[in-house]
Amino acid sequence: MFTNLHNNESPKMAGARMRLVEELKRKGIANQTVLQAMAHVPRQFFFPPDFEQYVYRDEAFPIGFNQTISQPYTVAYQTALLNIFPNAKVLEIGTGSGYQAAILHYCNAKVYSVEVIKELCERAKLVLKKLDIQVQIMLGDGTLGWPDAAPFDRILVTAGAPKPPVSLLNQLSENGSMVIPIGPSPDQLVMKRMTKTKNGFKEESFGEFKFVPLKGKEGW
| List of residues contacting ligand SAH (CB under 6 A) | 67-70, 93-94, 96-97, 99-100, 114-117, 120, 141-143, 158-159, 212, 214-216, 219
Which residue type occupies 120?
L
In whole angstroms, the minimum distance from the beta carbon of 159 to ligand SAH comes to 4
Cα three-residue angle 106-195-92, rounded to 5 degrees: 35
Closer to ligand SAH by CB, 31 or 97: give it. 97
In whole angstroms, the minimum distance from the beta carbon of 157 to ligand SAH comes to 8
In whole angstroms, the minimum distance from the beta carbon of 139 to ligand SAH comes to 9
Closer to ligand SAH by CB, 113 or 177: give it. 113
| Helical packing angle, 32-40 and 11-26, nearest 10° | 160
Closer to ligand SAH by CB, 24 or 159: give it. 159
Of 70, 113, 167, 177, the catalytic one is 70
DSSP notation for the chain:
---STTTT--HHHHHHHHHHHHHHHHTT---HHHHHHHHHS-GGGGS-TT-GGGTTSSS-EEEETTEEEPPHHHHHHHHHHH---TT-EEEEE--TTSHHHHHHHHTT-EEEEEESSHHHHHHHHHHHHHTT--EEEEES-GGG--GGG--EEEEEE-SBBSS--HHHHHTEEEEEEEEEEEEEETTEEEEEEEEEETTEEEEEEEEEE--PBP-STT--
Closer to ligand SAH by CB, 174 or 213: give it. 213
In whole angstroms, the minimum distance from the beta carbon of 46 to ligand SAH comes to 6
> How far is Cα 146 from Cα 148, in angstroms, rounded to an integer?
6
In whole angstroms, the minimum distance from the beta carbon of 29 to ligand SAH comes to 16
- 70 is a catalytic site residue: yes
Catalytic residue IDs: 70
